[in-house]
Structure 1
């Protein structure tokens, strides 16, 4: 959205519905995770790489899982999340 894409374009790119994208944009979904990611420069870097590669068509939506695993690894290393859930 920040790069000028419409909600429909973002939904298609991410394999989500337009309603889901709208809920993320309005912080009705994913806010807790976003707050955690904002605390980590490394995680933010990986998310930017993911967006760049998706927009450029260099990866598929299936490759997104690898990026998200890298984000989780960084957040665990930094003590921002633990195991399957969030750090308390």
Structure 2
């Protein structure tokens, strides 16, 4: 059994980021450079999220069912410019806390 922090940093956070990136590009038609600036990541990282080199597709499908509204809300706030990069990080943490509260991590054998 892996520690929860290892699961989150290795699988969950990259998948959440991929979901936010895809939403910003698809719904808001932001460029990869714009998304990178808003999220505090590099343009190549955005490209990798879009091409599924980062994040897990199966996990993404599962998370969309349980926290999809929270991901869309985060993307909405990022697109509107309401959030600083530090605020984005805090929102990632809030989403992970919500996942733990909902028992989502138990499905991974952690939490």
Fold match (TM-score > 0.5): yes
Higher RCO by CA contacts (8 Å cutoff, separation 6 or greater): 2
> Please, which runs of 5 or more residues in structure 1 have no aligned partner?
none
User: Separation in 1 of the partners of 2:50 and 2:40?
Assistant: 16
For structure 2, the residue ranges without an aligned partner over 5 or more in a row are 1-24
Quick check: which one's strand share is greater?
A: 1
Runs of 4 or more, structure 1, over 6 Å off, are none
Structure number with higher helix proportion: 2
TM-score (norm 2): 0.63
Length, aligned pairs only: 83
The CA RMSD measured in Å over matched residues stands at 1.9
Contact 2:36–2:46 (CA under 8 A) maintained in structure 1 = yes
Normalization by structure 1: what TM-score? 0.77
The residue that corresponds to 2:29 in the other structure is: 4
